[in-house]
Amino acid sequence: MMVELFVPGRLCLLGEHTDWAAGYPSLDGASFNVGEAIVTGIDQGLHARVSLLSPHDHDDVRFIFRSSSSPDLSLDVPIGSAADQVALLSIAVSGSPASYVAGCVHHLLSSGTARISNTAGVLIDNHTTTMPMQKGLSSSAAVCVLVVRAFNVLLDLGLSAEQEMELAYHGERTTPSQCGRLDQAGCAFGSRPVRLTFDAQAQLAAVVPIPLRCDLFFVIVDLGAHKDTRTILSDLNACFQSPAPTAVQLAVRAYLGHVSPSITVKAIEAMERGDPVALGALLTSAQAHFDTVRATTINIILIFN
């Protein structure tokens, strides 16, 4: 059986970083923050043909990931024994591009979600990639969702999109990437905007599709800048963990803990009533706040029709 899959990249419209900031206490110390975000899949992503390997193809149980667009993602490893799982974990923690693939396979097997005793293995052929990599569109999360979805489809695991998202999150967290839960949700739910609410333990408490009253068109512009996600998250975490926060760190805490969730809720209301002008004003306001605290974000031109 061969199945064609597509997993999109994701665009975070509002609420970036509130997925993990929710786990930190508010400035008053009496309560914890609650995160709110709006994400959507885009029309660019990873295309792959996935299939089960025949026992005639290999003497052992194997996992093969091929990528013509990003060869450094490729992986061809045995996965039939406990020793093989240890080797997978070693690749995952290495931080190499293939670590995302290895981390997801390791988590699927070690958690008992996937059992492949009746097959010679799994093949994922990522033959086409239409999204730019390492440009803030969650290419790593898309890879993780693709791996989980391939196992889900081929082994008939019966996983929902929420379960795929959760497994992909834990798979990516096996690697040095300390991502929040936001990225995998945007990739797993396809090209529809969804509202994500994160509770005081930074857990994803709700995923709710947002009904739209009008079409919204987003043009993503690559300005050729460089970003280091690990450094960004490390610096942002320091804003909440510092015993003597600076003015900038306090501004980050106020923005992520209070300002951003408030703007996001108002933006959802604007989308539901079909008011792109109000939505545009809220996005502009969010960007202005983000700039004042010297945070890093993707530059987006918004065109509403």
**Per-residue pLDDT tens over the stretch 87-137:** 999 999 999 999 999 999 999 999 999 987 767 899 999 999 998 887 778
What is the overall mean pLDDT for the chain?
86
Query: What pLDDT band is residue 304 in, cutting at 50, 70 and 90?
Result: very low
Give the pLDDT score at 56. 67
Q: How far apart are CA 80 and CA 115, in angstroms?
A: 9
**Average pLDDT rounded to a whole number, residues 295-301:** 37
pTM metric for this prediction: 0.85
Cβ–Cβ under 8 Å, residues 172 and 179: yes
> pLDDT per residue over 236-288, tens digit each?
788 888 888 888 888 888 888 889 999 999 999 999 999 999 999 999 999 88
* Domains of the chain, residue spans: 2-209, 216-304
Give the pLDDT score at 89. 96
Instruction: Specify the higher pLDDT residue, 179 or 278.
Output: 278
- Extract the runs of DSSP E, i.e. beta strands, from the chain: 2-14, 35-52, 62-67, 75-78, 121-129, 194-198, 204-209, 216-220, 300-304
Q: How far apart are CA 8 and CA 6, in angstroms?
A: 6
Fold for 2-209, please state it.
Ribosomal Protein S5; domain 2 (3.30.230)
